[in-house]
A and B are shown apart, each in its own frame.
Chain A
């Protein structure tokens, strides 16, 4: 397993354009998370999936943002009509769900390298 993969690593776009990011999680992980990180800040939660179900969305996820995980494997995050304030690093993470503590590695998130978005 190569860990969590994100594509593209960098995206520069003009304001008003749509962008899509893809995340491939660790294969045995059933949970997938999207976070946003701006310069000098910690990652902020956007949304998460358990299998194909989107179970929680942050208020940060405006109507212009949509995330999907159609087959419970890879996920996409689309931003429509991008704004300069959308410029950030978009991080994807995956984990196993449930209890079990340390031995199960439950709820320990493994992050990808991120997709950096610059909106001009």
Chain B
């Protein structure tokens, strides 16, 4: 089963608002990745994090690798309509080669 707990499960916001979502686990992770998935498509990588405490930005997106290595968050600033979709956190635990995914956060934006 899934080892990652992602929250919130869904968000309904107004265009222009900032968004924050997070992912937690009872296991230690060596990498954290954030993906976005549009309907009928595969997940697309947004940000990759490799080191505890790392804070990385990609345009309006910012993600951090938690210092305990058991959590990560993703922030989106000044949301726009094309931000709509499902956001997944994912990561590799120590020694594992497979990527484990959270359940996803569905983002809906009201114009």
Residues in A lying within 8 Å of B, measured CB to CB: 4, 31, 33, 40-45, 48, 55-56, 58, 91, 93, 97, 101-102, 105, 107-114, 116
Whether A102 contacts B48 by the Cβ 8 Å rule is yes
**In the bound complex, what is the Cα–Cα distance between A52 and B103 (angstroms)?**
30
- Out of A42, A108, A111, which one reaches B48, CB within 8 Å? A108
A-B residue pair count with CB separations less than 8 angstroms: 65
**In the bound complex, what is the Cα–Cα distance between A31 and B97 (angstroms)?**
10
Which stretch of B12-20, B36-44, B67-75, B76-84 is in the interface?
B36-44
Residues in B lying within 8 Å of A, measured CB to CB: 2, 4, 6, 31, 33, 35, 40-45, 48, 50-51, 88, 90, 92, 97-104
Whether A91 contacts B42 by the Cβ 8 Å rule is yes
Give 7 pairs: A residue, B residue, CB < 8 Å, sorted on A: A33-B99, A40-B103, A91-B42, A101-B50, A109-B99, A111-B43, A113-B41
Q: Which residue of B lies closest to A102 (CB)?
A: B50
Q: Which residue of A lies closest to B51 (CB)?
A: A101
Whether A48 contacts B50 by the Cβ 8 Å rule is no
**In the bound complex, what is the Cα–Cα distance between A56 and B40 (angstroms)?**
27
**In the bound complex, what is the Cα–Cα distance between A70 and B27 (angstroms)?**
35
Pairs of residues from A and B, 8 with the lowest C-beta to C-beta distance, nearest first: A42-B101, A111-B42, A45-B98, A101-B50, A114-B42, A113-B42, A111-B43, A43-B101
